[in-house]
């Protein structure tokens, strides 16, 4: 195994995308092994690599880590993206948790029927503009700093930018009423490591397509219908 973290997941966003974002923002190169068959997944299971029988799984620093939040917390702490003290870490956790809630509404979007997708699209935009974005708009306005916590780039900022771009894919002008977030998006997108990740040819994954959905369903044997909120 090389010194680079190795990511085990599908060739698509899902729960691994936030891990890709955080590693990229920290300037860390990583390798990926894409799950394309049920046999690959079962091999990981039989080898004891998946503690709770789930992916994402990341090999890093001699560990085989599972549970997305644990992986993200480890990366954030390792690369100094987790605040300077317990209070800042608590704020970062709080903001990341809120952003996670919003992103959760988007995670299963590709698996919905066409009719349910339209309902969910409206639901996502409504929740983003009425519950989540106003919080971050107020935080940035009240403290007048460039970043969410401690005036220093952190995991909370990376996570929020990822969420903003995901919601913009559902409604391109969703930030029209949020000038602080518009400026925040511009600032974050110009950070060299993030700018590189946003460029074509990076390891950032595109909007999930039918091929991704079918691969996930086949590997995980997901044959039930999902419903919108």
User: Which CATH number covers residue 49?
Assistant: 3.40.30.10
Residue 58, classed as helix, strand or coil, is strand
Domain-embedded: residue 216: yes
Domain-embedded: residue 229: no
Q: In which band, very low, low, confident or very high, does the pLDDT at 2 lie, cut at 50, 70 and 90?
A: low
Per-residue b or e along 106-123, where b marks 16 or more CB atoms closer than 10 Å to that residue's CB: beebbbbeeebeeebbeb
Residues paired with residue 33 on neighbouring β-strands, in sequence order: 8
Do 99 and 184 have their domain in common? yes
pLDDT of residue 8: 97
Averaged pLDDT of the chain: 94
Do 92 and 155 have their domain in common? yes
Do 128 and 183 have their domain in common? yes
Do 14 and 44 have their domain in common? yes
Q: In which band, very low, low, confident or very high, does the pLDDT at 222 lie, cut at 50, 70 and 90?
A: confident
Write the pLDDT tens digit of every residue in 24-64. Answer: 999 999 999 999 999 999 999 999 999 999 999 999 999 99
Domain-embedded: residue 59: yes
Structurally, how many domains does the chain consist of?
A: 2
Write the pLDDT tens digit of every residue in 183-199. Answer: 999 999 999 999 999 99
C-alpha 139/C-alpha 136 separation (Å) is: 5
Domain-embedded: residue 149: yes
pLDDT of residue 172: 97
Domain-embedded: residue 138: yes
With a cut of 80, say whether residue 223 has pLDDT above it: no
Residues paired with residue 32 on neighbouring β-strands, in sequence order: 7
What global pTM score does this model have?
A: 0.94
What is the pLDDT averaged over residues 67-72? Answer: 97
Q: In which band, very low, low, confident or very high, does the pLDDT at 227 lie, cut at 50, 70 and 90?
A: low
With a cut of 60, say whether residue 1 has pLDDT above it: no
- How would you classify the pairing of strands 31-34 and 57-60? unpaired
C-alpha 183/C-alpha 189 separation (Å) is: 10
Write the pLDDT tens digit of every residue in 165-185. Answer: 999 999 999 999 999 999 999
With a cut of 60, say whether residue 228 has pLDDT above it: no
| Dihedral sign for Cα atoms in the order 4, 19, 203, 149 | negative
Do 145 and 54 have their domain in common? no
pLDDT of residue 221: 87
Do 91 and 170 have their domain in common? yes
Do 35 and 95 have their domain in common? no
Do 90 and 16 have their domain in common? no
Contacts of 119 (CB under 8 A, 6+ apart): 228
What is the pLDDT averaged over residues 150-158? Answer: 96
Q: Which domain holds residue 61?
A: 6-79+199-220
Do 102 and 131 have their domain in common? yes
* CATH number, residue 135: 1.20.1050.10
Do 107 and 176 have their domain in common? yes
Domain-embedded: residue 107: yes
With a cut of 50, say whether residue 128 has pLDDT above it: yes
Write the pLDDT tens digit of every residue in 138-149. Answer: 999 999 999 999
């Amino acid at each position: 195994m090389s010194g680079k973290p190795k990511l085990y997941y599908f060739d698509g966003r899902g729960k691994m995308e936030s891990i890709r974002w955080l590693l990229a923002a920290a300037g860390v190169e990583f390798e990926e092994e894409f799950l394309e068959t049920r046999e690959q997944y079962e091999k990981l299971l039989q080898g004891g690599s998946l503690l709770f029988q789930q992916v994402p799984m990341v090999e890093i620093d001699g560990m085989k880590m599972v549970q997305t939040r644990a992986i993200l917390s480890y990366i954030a702490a390792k690369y100094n993206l987790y605040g300077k003290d317990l209070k800042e870490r608590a704020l970062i956790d709080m903001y990341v948790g809120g952003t996670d809630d919003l992103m959760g509404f988007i995670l299963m979007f590709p698996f919905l029927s066409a009719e349910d997708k339209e309902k969910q699209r409206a639901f996502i935009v409504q929740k983003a503009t009425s519950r989540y974005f106003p919080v971050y708009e107020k935080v940035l306005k009240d403290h007048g700093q460039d970043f969410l916590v401690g005036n220093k780039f952190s995991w909370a900022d990376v996570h929020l930018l990822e969420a903003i771009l995901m919601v913009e894919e559902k409604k391109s002008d969703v930030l029209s009423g949020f000038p602080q977030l518009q400026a925040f998006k511009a600032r974050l997108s110009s950070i060299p490591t993030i700018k590189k990740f946003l460029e074509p040819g990076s390891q950032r994954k595109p909007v999930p397509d039918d091929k991704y959905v079918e691969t996930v369903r086949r590997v995980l044997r997901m044959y039930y219908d999902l419903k919108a909120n």
